[in-house]
Structure 1
Amino acid sequence: MYKEVNFTEISKELLDQLQNGAFLTVKAGDTVNTMTITWGSLGFIWYKPTFTAMVRYSRYTYELIEKAEDFTVSLPLNGQLKKELDICGTKSGKDVDKFAQCNITLKEGEVVKSPIINECDLHIECKILYKQPMDENAVCQEIKDKSYSNGDYHTLYYAEIVKAYIKS
């Protein structure tokens, strides 16, 4: 059973867990994929609560999210799913069925087309408002050296949080 919450009520839990891993899940047509993210940003932009996700061009998820209107972020808050987060962060959905390999199940989103990871505790459903490929010339050298030495930059997806809920 889930309880709907305002994104400001869960911001600490979301940001604390995000650093340890969350599942970004997207559905394009009949294809669903999930990947582990450890970066993202909560905010309030354009009079809307937002989550900004970053997806590298090299990821299979990038192919899907470019065709999608939305995505979900599912977070395990009780130390569970560490192995699953590792697999979903190192394996490609092009090569393996992550859901079967990790024994994780999907549940339909309540507002968006993309599903959530049912075994998680906290979920946000996000509608993409704006996407922006990174301009490598605008990135400071320290960040380039640390995060983009191979030139595999991200596209940033600014999305409205249309629903947030937590297991009760």
Structure 2
Amino acid sequence: MMKRLLFILCLLPAFAFAQEETDIKYMAGAVPVVNGKVLFKKEIKAPNLSKDQIFDAVQAWANTRFKTDKGNWGQVAYSNKEEGQIACYGSEHMVFADKTFSLDRAKVNYRVNFICTPGKCDMEITNIHYIYPEDSKDRLPAEDWITDEQAMNKDQTKLIKRIAKFRIKTVDMVESLFEGAEKSLGVQPSAPQAIAAAPVVTPPAQTVENIAATSGDALQGYKRIAPDKIPGNIIKMLSEEWMLITGGNGEKYNPMTASWGGLGYLYNKPVAFCFISPARYTYDLMDNGETYTLTFYTETYREALNYCGHNSGKDADKVKGAGLTTITTPSGSKAFSEAWMIIECRKMISQTINIDGISDPQLKKQWAGKAMHKMFIGEILNVWVK
């Protein structure tokens, strides 16, 4: 049995590539060539951000992405805020197969250029070449290796087997780089990821077409989408990136930083749920209100979220202190224009957690004698993204 399992595991990498070769995204046109050079380009639009905001966000992401880590090497080679230009070099391992007793990989080197202007960032990936095998002194330029002319058969219906792995891994790497830059600016990825929590299903009447036609639900600077089109990994968005819960309306409202919650489907409605301690100022606003918002931000606004998590709206103008800009939804809920995504909810269920309902012994001991959080479950009314 053990030998059979080892044999299956060894076949998995090869099987994966056999599957990927048929994916249309790797076929004709997947590797663009401009003036004889492989050049991947993307215009990332961020209409609500200034040139300096875009530059700062992209540079912060680049400093993290292009660095020496676990055998990979990279650096931000040039940056000029006044000109809005950033240039980076990347060098990393491209693993084709990692079997029990053998490792098939290459080294890929490349350059990434950014030009930041008001409302957008132009990103280019070029100068791609490979070192394969790793101890080779020869460099294989992408132009001689992964273009349609080099990597596909004459009819452009199939990838050439020995080259396919380079082309596939390069396209995947480029997609990952583009997505990383997009996320740094709070832009919805071009190919939305599935949510890693309970699936959100939209009732038949809530189609994208009739949502887009409802002008009364428009929010300037945002595009309205259906709940089942929410992008990103909700677990990562909450646990690592956090959100603001904003309760209240009119002149009396308050945001609080939160990392507990999720998305799902309940009573035939798409819902979002969150948890609030009775010690928080937002607690009473949520208790007494009908609608509220959950808003999500890029790393650029980490300090604003930190501020909202450590200061109370009872004592000061919390919104002003965090440097946020209030906007009002058509339903009267409050949100902030710095958010890349706004989820507006109507309170459907609110229930304080009972200590007797906690099954985990350690959690029960931890929370014994303490004030318990209240869970708020809200029907998702609107979702807006930049």
Q: TM-score, normalised by structure 1?
A: 0.90
Match among 364, 372, 376 for residue 153 of structure 1: 372
Conservation of the 8 A alpha-carbon contact between 2:249 and 2:334: no
Range with greater deviation from structure 2 (136-145 or 43-52): 136-145
In structure 1, distance between residues paired with 2:320 and 2:369: 31
SS in 2 for 1:71: strand
- Equivalent residue for 2:308? 88
Number of corresponding residues: 164
Q: Which has the higher helix share?
A: 2
* Distance in 1 of aligned mates of 2:316 and 2:381: 30
Q: Post-superposition, which runs of at least 4 consecutive aligned residues in structure 1 deviate over 6 A?
A: none
Most deviating of 133-142 and 9-18: 9-18
Is 1:114 aligned to 2:333, yes or no?
yes
Structure 1 residues 123 and 14: CA distance shift in structure 2, 3 A: farther
**Whole-Å separation in 2 of the counterparts to 1:66 and 1:30:** 17
The structure richer in strand per residue is 1
Per-residue deviation, 1:29:
5.7
Once the two structures are superposed, residues 83-122 of structure 1 have per-residue CA deviations (whole angstroms, 9 ceiling, x without a partner) of 11111111111112111111101100133x3211110100
Specify whether residues 105 and 53 from structure 1 end up closer, same or farther in structure 2 by C-alpha distance, changes over 3 A only. same
Residue pairs, 1:1-168, within 5 angstroms: 1-19=221-239, 20-28=241-249, 30-76=251-297, 78-111=298-331, 113-140=332-359, 141-146=361-366, 148=367, 151-167=370-386
Q: Distance in 1 between matches of 2:314 and 2:368?
A: 24
SS of match in other structure, 1:104: coil
Kindly tell me: are residues 8 and 92 of structure 1, through their superposed partners in 2, closer, same or farther at Cα, counting changes over 3 Å?
same
Q: CA deviation at 1:16?
A: 2.5
Between structure 1 and structure 2, the one with the greater Rg is: 2
Q: Cα–Cα, structure 1 residues 137 and 85, in superposed 2: closer, same or farther, change >3 Å?
A: same
How far did 1:152 drift?
2.7
Q: After the TM superposition, which of the residue ranges 133-142 and 51-60 deviates more from structure 2?
A: 133-142
Alignment-derived partner of residue 156 in structure 2: none
1:46-79, Cα deviation, whole Å (9 max, x unpaired):
1100001111111111111111011101101x31
Q: Could you list the runs of 5+ residues in structure 1 that have no partner in the other structure?
A: none
When residues 122 and 88 of structure 1 are mapped into structure 2, their CA distance, relative to the original with a 3 A threshold, is: same
For 2:304 and 2:368, the matched residues in 1 are separated by 27
Which whole-Å CA distance do the structure 1 matches of 2:384 and 2:356 have between them? 38
Q: Which range moved further: 62-71 or 25-34? A: 25-34
Larger relative contact order, structure 1 or 2 (CA cutoff 8 Å, min sep 6): 1
Q: Tell me if the contact between 2:352 and 2:375 (Cα under 8 Å) persists in the aligned partners.
A: yes
